[in-house]
A = this chain, B = another copy of it.
Amino acid sequence: MPGANDSEDGWRDTTIDASAVEGDPERAAAVQGIERIRQSIDNIDSAIISLLAERFKCTSQVGVLKARAGFAPEDHQREDHQMKRLARIAIDAGLDPQIAQMYREFVVTEAKKRHERIAQAGGDPGVLDIWA
């Protein structure tokens, strides 16, 4: 197969490459389609990364406000509200609501890890607020 080779771990690996499918119009059309969709995936990833940067800024601010006011970091009512809301938005958007649930776990886990990394590096990790 043009552009295909066995990868180190034994999986087959295909580098999508227009020059490798020259003279094969059907495959060339597939390569063109894949490249077009990959551009959209890259744009979506850029947007999500930028939004995640904003989200972590927001949760840090909430953490500082809570600590100053003497509020505990955890807020179960807020957590319930967020989980139900995210599931509803996912269904509306045509996304499996379990993925929305895992997204929430992802941001919580990463906030915890980020806090630990900064502390281990001897920096000031600031206030941990993973629930916000």
Interface residues in chain A, defined as those with a beta carbon under 8 Å from any beta carbon in chain B: 1, 3-4, 7, 11-16, 26-27, 30-31, 33-34, 37-38, 40-42, 44-59, 61-62, 65-66, 68-78, 82, 85-86, 89-90, 93-96, 98-100, 102-103, 106, 109-110, 113-114, 117, 132
Contact = CB atoms under 8 A, between A and B. Distances in A.
A37 B89 CA distance: 19
Number of copies: 2
Given A15-B75, A44-B55, A95-B56, A65 B30 contact: yes
Contacts of A47: 47, 51
A60 to B, nearest CB: 10
A115 B100 CA distance: 15
